[in-house]
Chains A and B, each alone.
Chain A
Amino acid sequence: MSTAVSATTHDSTTHDTTAHDTSAHAARPARRATAGLVEIHGVRKSFGTLEVLRDVSLTVPPGSVTVVLGPSGSGKSTLLRAINHLEKVDQGFVSLDGALIGYRRKGSTLRELKEREILAQRTQIGFVFQGFNLFPHLTALENVVEAPVSAQRRRREDVEPEARALLERVGLADKADARPRQLSGGQQQRVAIARALALRPKVLLFDEPTSALDPELVGEVLEVIKDVASTGTTLVVVTHEIAFAREVADTVVFMDDGVVVEQGTPTEVLDHPRQDRTRAFLEKVL
């Protein structure tokens, strides 16, 4: 089947992300990605009695950009955190390029991975937080260098030039020795993106990357994300920036109340929503 995206809960729109021809995307350079396929199957998650994810399934093709929209409390962030196992799901599973996240299959049994192995898996999945979560006692450069050295056991001498190049790519070459509190919110978030990229992840997850920023700083962060999007890394972005979704996303997923309500191309979901809930949400935010 040519369909790369599917949802269980509704008769959602499906489309082929690798061969789309919508004019809105014509200008974007073609991505050639072979790795970074994320599959989410029947995921459920409850916090106490509150069920925040109710049977969510989603396929994110390699190299694609998926934007997840939805009102607060709809389960977007939890879904994102489930992808890199920061949140352990109650049911269902998540896999990256066919390998289960957090488990190992042995015949007919699933074995939970040890923390060390989960940590190793996470190096393939970068995560950018709403609140940046940079390490305040380390400089920008040390923030970027830390994980490749301690998690991937690479040599500091090899990592450092790479880290400087990454900082330059996000426009912060001159801030390598500054500590996070000496940087603006937008600069901090750009360092955080460089830090996530330093592990050369197959997938990069963004949890409302611009929500904690002053309006005039949002643009610089979105520019960096666009730049990353053009490199063939799979991106899943939870955001409220509709314009960004329209410009960059291959797929827009609308979530509400723990389920995927609707998904499709930006034109389909944003301009011609099929579901009333999507329409109601878009009317409020647009």
Chain B
Amino acid sequence: MSNDSRGWRIALVPDTLMNPPHDERAALPDVLNLLEASGHGVLQLPQPGEHRLLLAVTADQVAEYSHHGYAVLAIGLRGLSDNGLHWRRLAPLLRNRGVALPPRHIVRRDGDVALESQRLAAFLANYDLPAEEQRRWRV
């Protein structure tokens, strides 16, 4: 894949972190900017609610990535139901597809924004698949 620029890293992101409400924008890290800087793609999770089919579709995609050398992680937001990650429904869907649960980082709403941004950036920078797995797939 020499002519290909993919980053091989993907983040599950709640809708609220992708599209923060206007009055919360300054109080939350700019998650899309941080993901762009770290080379992650996004899989958007919907707002809290019943999304059985959409979450099953998301689990199918995570399974496909996880089985083919992509590093998948999740970013939640404290204060949302299940931190916005639909984990109670998504986790069994992933287990049923033979997928290890992605590591999670939870953004705090009441924290210092600069510090929260640094914590998230460090999490994004530090997680990837073991080198052996990378070599196996990423050629």
Is A bound to B? no
Q: What residues make up the interface of B, taking CB atoms closer than 8 Å to A?
A: none
Interface residues of A (CB under 8 A from B): none
